[in-house]
Amino acid sequence: MQNTSSNPADPIGWHGTTILCVRRDGKVAMAGDGQVSLGQTIVKGNARKVRRIGAGGSVLAGFAGATADAFTLLERLEAKLERFPNQLERACVELAKDWRTDRYLRRLEAMMAVADKHHSYTLTGNGDVLEPEDGLIAIGSGGNFALSAARALIDIPEMGAEDIARKAMRIAAQICVYTNGNVVVETI
């Protein structure tokens, strides 16, 4: 994924991923599309950008950005979760501090969405650890499309978190050229 903005952690200018996290009725669903783009070329259609991490897979993590950078951040977050078990917020804050102050990490071009059964956060290289007030997080180039769709769908009482995530991702894939319909969804 490439970033055309002057700040690598600024989501404006990201091209290549859609990650959506939906929290509803005690359930959390995180969805990610499978498309990997290199410039204007699709190089892979079935990448896995959403993973379970932490003890027993109790945390969902999705990433947008340069793949190697995202994996570096996932490894760092897993180490923080080992150090602070069952404390997602603390692990995220500690990672954000490192990300902001470490010269190596500062250069990483990625964003993350993470969630456990109690909290959801967006993590950025600016040191942000943002918890949404409505239980919805979206990052990546198709993030705003998926977020808009999820906000419209959240009012439908019979739709669960996973149903909303899948439908919103289908909508985003129909709009964003950097998002495909090959969606991976993890739930807790």
Write out the catalytic residue numbers.
Answer: 17
Furthest-apart CA pair in the chain: how many Å? 48
State the virtual CA torsion across 22, 56, 180, 147 in degrees, nearest 10.
20
- Retrieve residue 8's tokens: 């690598």
